[in-house]
Structure 1
Amino acid sequence: MLGGAGLVAANVYASASEGWGDGSGTDSAAHVLSTGMPTIDCPDVGSRLTAVPDAARSDVDRELALLDQQTAESYRQLQQWSRDGGRDGDSADDTIMNPLEEKRSASLGRIGDAIDRAGERPQGLDDLAPCTLRPGDSAQPTAAPSDGTQPGDGQGQGQNGQGQGQGGAGQGGNGPVVSDYVDITGVQPDAQAPPPQADASRGTFTSDCGVNANGLFNSDNVIVAPGVSNGAHHFHDYVGNQSNTAFASDEDLANADTSCVDQGDKSTYYWPVLRLQNGTQERDAGAPGGGTEGNAGQIVTPKEVTLTFVGNPRGQVTAMPRLLRIITGDAKAFVNGPGNANASWSCTGFEDRQLKDKYPLCPQGSDVVRTFRFQSCWDGRNIDSANHRTHVAFAAQDGSCPAGFQPIPQLVQRIVYDVPAPSVADGGRTVPLFAVDSFPEQLHKPVTDHGDFINVFDEDLMREMVDCINSGRTCGPDAADGGGNGDGSGGNGDGSGGNTGDVSGGNTGDAGGNGGDAGTNGGDGTGNGDNGGTGNGDDAGTGASTGTGDGSGTGTGDDTGTGDHTGSGTGATEETGEPGGNVTSAPAPTAYRPAEAPRTDATTSQGRTTKHHSADKRESSDRPVPVKSAGTAPTSAPSAPAGSASAAAEGGAGDTGGPAAQAGAEPQAQATQGGLAETGAQLWPAAIGTLLALSGLFMLLRARRMRY
């Protein structure tokens, strides 16, 4: 049971940002201003239902999906009415809006009945039946990039009869329009984030799950509309779990294959696809959720997808519960208003400038970047809630969670696309417009961008993630194979005499790849490269392996030894060049953004702790979810990934540091020794010393015999 039934009569979620920069602005009703064409504005019932009894969930989910279907059908009627030259508001009411209200009223009545049978009937449902016809305006196109360059291959519009007007109307006739774009070079940088507090959890954990190169798409949403085909009315990219459909049970997700490098991560990560409005007819051109609902054009495979879990700027994080569901952003923000909008658009090289309600026009050599920062506070009880929001929340700028909530690792999802800046001057005819899929009436507005996540991490791997973040380390699949970090701690001197120095230190600067195995007989050794470290002691150690990185930092060895040999470790810097010389390495993920404000809910009620009872019974018996209290340090460090020379050497490929790279006040795991060759390197000085001692003793005995 989700507690007493409740209904919020207004958008009660505070905005995740303090301002809207160069956005299109809002009207007095907090709606984002319409641009270019009319649309239908219907109250979002799902976000207002804060409590639904478990027994009523399936009926309510089905009716909520039906409400979305009714709106989509009415919008298609509106498009046809507009193409036929309809201008009379009364005729639109008679043929579109009034019939829509009648259908919605019937669905709302069935929702009320379902809840009433299992609990308390929510009040005010009938008030949500009427929808509003919102006319478009005639906003002017936004200027092209200031350098006057229009990168791209010059592919024109109008293929297959899908041309665009001067203002752009998208291949599906429902957006985007040229006023949805802004030159990123003219956007002011965001405010600097305040430094984390002394007890902050500075570590990062990266999961590499690919870019959906295998083309796993569907228009379902198992979180919002379970059991309903085409419940999203737009197509999603999926990485991670390979069995995510509307009909997937918790058991299906737990037993599925995964595209993640670490097979312990079967989580599902999904977001609306990005399309080029270039006339291409994809395989979904005639399918629901695709071309029949205004989502048309060539689907673009991301160039890069980075999934990074970061800590809390105030204290330590606790483990996510298995099967936790989180939705960030609002797929209906264009009509709902920006209160829940939480997507960010930018360009590589300009990621200190983030856009909410505009697509970026990137200069030549720069790629488009979408970033999602998920909620990082959990109510400690529920894996989901009736409106899929109230069981999680955003932290305040200082990292504090709302009362009754505890910090969990924050998923920061960064998606990069190699798409040229559209030719906005001619409405995308020369270089096509790009846009995300959306509900048809949302007109592909960038403000509607959103991301979805279901945690299906193996519990051992989740514990490893939490320990890594809380101990200030940088971890990920490439920590084991040297893809981001070297096999050791990057030329840092190591304690000698059999002692191993704590070479991980707490590197300062960007946490680039550490080159080299931990030095032997070490101390006073220097590591060369961008992330070289120094070790204290008498003898210098040698670092053999080479890692990659682009930060600079220092580490210290704790133990000292004897000897007079000098060695060095090397760390080579490796960067990936972009067209035009741009570098694709992501900016350091942080636990929060300076523009992110806490979101509080006017109504917070008990959420749903189970979704599929059989799955949860199996989980509770076979895989208990350990939940540590907030602020409690982990009792033991996880073992390093196979092939890693030390837990301290863990790091994700392409990571440029972030919280893990802050000045090292956090305790670090000690480095362990390497293989047979390294062991021999430690033993041969002792062997030579033994031989010299025996030779000296022999000569002494011989001299004494000669004397007598």
Structure 2
Amino acid sequence: MRRTSRKRSTLTNRAIAASAALILGGGGLLVVNVSASAGEGGSGPSGPGPGQSGRIQNAGQQLSTIDCPEVANDLPDVPDSARREVDRELANLDSQITEAYKRFADSKEQITRDPGLAENAILRPLRDKRLASVDRIATAVDRAAERPQGLESLAPCTLRADDNAGGGGDGQGNDSQDDSGDNAGQGGDQGGDQGGGQDGNGNGGQAGNGPDASDFVDIQSVQPNVQQPRKRPGASRGEFTTDCGRNENGKFNPDNVIVAPGVSNGAHHMHDYVGNQANDAFASDNDLARGATTCRNQGDRSTYYWPVLRLQNGQNENDADADGGGRDSNVGEIQTPTQVSLKFVGSPVAKVTAMPRFLRIVTGDAKAFTNGDSNANASWSCTGFEDRQLKDKYPICPEGSQVVRTFAFQSCWDGKNTDSANHRTHVAFAEENGGCPDGFRAIPQLVQRIVYDVPPGPGFAVDSFPEQLHKPVTDHGDFINVFDSRLMKKVVSCVNDGRKCA
């Protein structure tokens, strides 16, 4: 691993010092004189010191959630010997936010009456715990490389409102594309007047923390926005489809072996799994290699997983009092997809090379609501309307049409690593011209299409971290390649030769 002591520019871009006098939606006046740390995309030129905690954002709006900087995004290269400890502390940071969010959600009324409670009971204790965790991260790296500098400026968090509640979002689509037109394009400025909050709760959602009516849009009001990538000479035009079922056997857990290995409930939301059945937080590569698979071709023992989708209809699942379920504000009936398509496609400008075994890819951002949408990469649509794709809205589909989630995974690999410290930089999306960035090579691109038959209207949501308020922009998918070498060779040959194989 490359040794580095370079601080990333986002460390300073993410934190500001401020004094604020802000009005809560409940009518109480909050006066604070502390420092702020916004999530990705936050403003401000300078960072708070480690003794400062946070601030309250969004004057005049009802505060909705806790916004903390994403420490993983600002880590330098992490030595392999420190990776396990760093991942464990990153998972601790997530748990700290979850606990603080629960305290905040339970005390909104008291905060309205006693503004100091937000600082004293929520933001300051959270900052202190985060300071201890980022110090342990820096110490773990320091044992094998140079100690990363500036992480302490990421400890303070803020309270913020849901800026889009009661109004429309920008509906922006993602930039990634795939050969079938399942990419997300530009959405419209669609409003949030498509019905009331879920389960009669004006605050949104069966658990009271989202989604809001403004998170839904009638797909028929969205203009077609999908642009097909132009194929060029040298393109790999084939497709390979693997059939791994729809999780009919109900394999669920709230772990994430990629992002939080060795940590139970590391995701704080429930995942659907198809393919490898050995996947939990403690699965090693050897466990996955030996694991049973739901894939029809037994040469594919890969694991494919994503947050479950639930109906917000007042009914509970049997995880209503379990981690990842009701204890993490994820409630409602889990829906089994009517279709799951797992397809590997080629590059519009080049031949593809084999993926390395145990390559890990995370697409989308489970914290995009607070981090900003730079890593968001799921799109939403309806059957019969897939020429129009949404990124930050759930679709309201007409009668007879079903909800569609699509993930077009990163299609470029650095040629060396099967994972990276932030689980992103070892893979990349193709550039605008269809080619891979310098130093990367094209690999078969996984495109997942997941279809659900849900009642028309705003009555469903994906699981999320509690503080992410079940926003559609937080949707994401995870993949670990456990193809055997013979089948991977067939995938590459099929894609490069322009054939359609299964």
Normalising by the residue count of structure 2, what TM-score does the alignment of the two structures yield? 0.83
Offset, 1:208? 0.4
Cα distance in 1, alignment partners of residues 226 and 266 from structure 2:
38
Match of 2:125?
99
Matched ranges for 1:172-321 at <5 A: 172-321=207-356
Paired residue for 2:200? 164
Q: CA 1:56–1:340 in 2, change beyond 3 Å: closer, same or farther?
A: same
Alpha-carbon distance in 2 for matches of 1:112, 1:372 = 33
Match of 2:134 among 97, 108, 123: 108
Aligned partners of 2:341 and 2:39: how far apart in 1? 38
Gap change, CA 1:441 and 1:372, over 3 Å in 2: same
- The residue aligned with 2:482 is 456
What is the aligned counterpart of 1:121 among 124, 147, 150? 147
Q: Is the 8 A contact 1:436 1:444 kept in 2?
A: yes
Distance 2:111 2:158 in 1: 20
Partners of 2:39 and 2:309 in 1: CA distance: 31
> Does the CA contact (< 8 Å) of 1:346 and 1:355 recur in 2?
yes
Distance of 2:433 and 2:265 partners within structure 1: 40
> Using the alignment, how far apart are the partners of 2:351 and 2:416 within structure 1?
19
CA deviation map 1:222-255 (0-9, x unaligned): 0000000000010000000001000000000000
Q: Is the 8 A contact 1:6 1:51 kept in 2?
A: no
How far 1:37 sits from its partner (Å)?
Answer: 5.1
Following superposition, the deviation at residue 281 of structure 1 comes to 2.0
Give 1:466's aligned amino acid.
Answer: V
CA contact (8 A) 2:39 2:67 kept: no
Query: Which residue number corresponds to residue 192 of structure 2?
Result: 142
**1:254/1:469 Cα in 2 relative to 1: closer, same or farther (>3 Å)?**
same
TM-superposed CA distance for 1:82, in Å, is 1.2
1:293-331 Cα distance to aligned partner (Å, 9 max, x none): 110110000000000000000010000000000000000
SS at match of 1:369: strand
Matches of 2:410 and 2:361 in 1, distance apart?
7
Q: Which has the higher strand share?
A: 2
Correspondence list, 1:255-654, <5 A = 255-422=290-457, 433-476=459-502
Following superposition, the deviation at residue 378 of structure 1 comes to 0.3
Contact 1:281 1:298 in 2 (8 A): yes
Q: 1:4: Cα distance to partner?
A: 3.1
Deviates more, 1:452-461 or 1:109-118: 109-118
In structure 2, the residue matched to 1:626 is none
Q: Cα 1:87–1:362, aligned 2, differ >3 Å: closer, same or farther?
A: farther
8 Å CA contact 1:37–1:174 kept in 2: the answer is no
- Offset of residue 292 of structure 1: 0.9
- Which residue of the partner structure matches residue 4 of structure 2? 4
Question: Aligned equivalents of 1:179 and 1:289: distance in 2?
Answer: 25
Alignment of 1:648-687 (within 5 A): none
Q: CA deviation at 1:194?
A: 3.9
Q: Is the 8 A contact 2:382 2:404 kept in 1?
A: yes
Q: Distance in 2 between matches of 1:48 and 1:265?
A: 34
Rounded Cα–Cα distance in structure 2 between residues aligned with 1:29 and 1:377 = 24
Distance in 1, matches of 2:345 and 2:371, equals: 30
Is the Cα–Cα contact under 8 Å of residues 411 and 429 in structure 2 kept in the other structure?
yes
Q: Distance in 2 between matches of 1:123 and 1:31?
A: 20
SS at match of 1:453: strand
Pair 1:36–1:327, CA change in 2 (3 A) = farther
Flag the 1:40–1:257 CA change in 2: closer, same or farther, 3 A.
same
**1:123–1:11: structure 2 CA closer, same or farther, 3 Å change rule?**
closer
Q: Deviations over 1:335-372 (max 9, x none)?
A: 00000000000000111111000000001110000000
The one-letter code matched in structure 1 to 2:302 is: S
Q: Distance in 2 between matches of 1:353 and 1:11?
A: 36
Measured against aligned partners, the alpha-carbon deviations of 1:138-187 in whole angstroms (never above 9, x if no partner) come to 51572449xxxx9xxxxx97xxxxx532x352111111110000011111
The answer to whether 1:30 aligns with 2:65 is no
Q: Which residue of 1 aligns with 2:71?
A: 45
Contact map agreement 2:321 2:327 (CA 8 A) in 1: yes
Change (3 A) 1:413 1:56: same
Alpha carbons of 1:28 and 1:322: their partners in 2 closer, same or farther (altered >3 Å)? closer
> 1:92, CA displacement in angstroms?
0.7
Letter in 1 for 2:93: L
1:305–1:416 Cα contact (<8 Å) kept: yes
Alignment of 1:75-90 (within 5 A): 75-84=101-110, 86-90=112-116
Contact 1:378 1:391 survives alignment (8 Å): yes
Letter in 1 for 2:264: S
Matched residue of 2:351: which SS? coil
Indicate if the aligned counterparts of 1:345 and 1:360 stay in contact, CA closer than 8 A: yes
Identity of aligned residues (%): 62
| Alignment partners' CA distance in 2, 1:354 and 1:36 | 30
Cα offset for 1:90?
2.4
Could you say which residue in structure 2 is the equivalent of 1:62?
Answer: 88
- The letter for the 1-side match of 2:445 is Q
Aligned pair count reads: 438
Q: Which has the larger radius of gyration?
A: 1
Deviation at 1:50, TM superposition (A): 3.5
Q: Per-residue deviation at 1:31? A: 6.2
What displacement does 1:84 show? 4.4
**Cα contact 1:5–1:52 (8 A) shared by 2:** no
- In 1, Cα distance between the equivalents of 2:272 and 2:285? 20
SS of residue in 2 equivalent to 1:79: helix
- 1:445-493: CA deviation from partner (whole Å, max 9, x where unpaired): 00000000000001100000000000000000xxxxxxxxxxxxxxxxx
Aligned with 2:322: secondary structure? coil
Q: Is the 8 A contact 1:9 1:124 kept in 2?
A: no
Distance 1:470 1:325 in 2: 22
Alignment check: 8 A CA contact 2:344 2:444 kept: yes
Give the TM-score normalised by the residue count of structure 1: 0.60
1:208 and 1:347 mapped to 2: Cα distance?
A: 22
> Cα 1:225–1:285, aligned 2, differ >3 Å: closer, same or farther?
same
Using the TM superposition, give the Cα deviation of residue 5 of structure 1 relative to its aligned residue in structure 2, in angstroms. 5.5
Q: Which moved more, 1:107-116 or 1:316-325?
A: 107-116
Contact 2:237 2:346 in 1 (8 A): yes
Contact 2:412 2:430 in 1 (8 A): yes
| Counterpart Cα distance in 1 of 2:40 and 2:77 | 25
C-alpha separation between the residues in 2 aligned to 1:317 and 1:31?
38
Offset, 1:89: 3.4
What's the offset of the Cα at 1:117?
1.2
Q: Residue 71 of structure 1: CA displacement? A: 0.3
Q: Distance in 2 between matches of 1:301 and 1:82?
A: 35
TM-fit CA distance, 1:287: 1.1
Alpha-carbon contact 1:211-1:302 (below 8 Å) kept: yes
**RMSD value over aligned CA atoms?**
2.3
Q: Which residue of 2 aligns with 1:583?
A: none
Take 1:144 and 1:307, find their aligned partners in 2: how far apart are those partners? 32
Change (3 A) 1:289 1:2: farther
Taking a change above 3 Å as real, the CA distance of residues 296 and 48 of structure 1, as seen in their structure-2 partners, is same
SS of match in other structure, 1:469: helix
Instruction: Assess if the C-alpha contact under 8 Å between 1:209 and 1:240 holds in 2.
Output: yes
